[in-house]
Amino acid sequence: MLPKDGLKRRNNMDMQKKTIPTYQVNIYLSGNYDDAVRACKQFCKIGLCVTVERCEYVYTGGAESGVKIGLLNYPKFPKEQEDILTTARKLSSFLLSELYQDSVLLVATDITEWISFRKA
């Protein structure tokens, strides 16, 4: 018999668990959220899943809207850390072009990189 909500429950014996080392990369850049989603959808055709979140950047003398794009090591489809970082770098370059930006920040579990056409 089904529960009142009509959803069939699975037995816990059907559950699988897979653990892998944590590795994540977040990409931060200014730009329009909708344009970022469109660009990520285009880029993800290679076989990739990312998160896209709205961000507000507040800094001395101003503020602007932007996005935070997330990549991580997903246990169902594990990747090497270097492969995730390489993909994040490629996506960052693509987003710089698509969103007409001058710089991007990559923050990984083990490294932070600022990539820019501006002088430091």
Show the domains of the chain with their CATH numbers: 21-116 (3.30.70.120)
Beta strands in 3-93 (DSSP E): 24-30, 51-59, 62-72
Q: Taking the CA of residue 119 as centre, how many other CA atoms within 13 Å lie in the half-sphere pointing to its CB?
A: 0
Q: What is the pLDDT of residue 3?
A: 66
Mean pLDDT estimate for the chain = 92
pLDDT in tens, the chain (120 residues): 566 766 666 666 677 889 999 999 999 999 999 999 999 999 999 889 999 999 999 999 999 999 999 999 999 889 999 999 999 999 999 999 999 999 999 999 999 999 998 887
Smallest CA-to-CA distance from 103 within 91, 84, 89, 117 is with 117
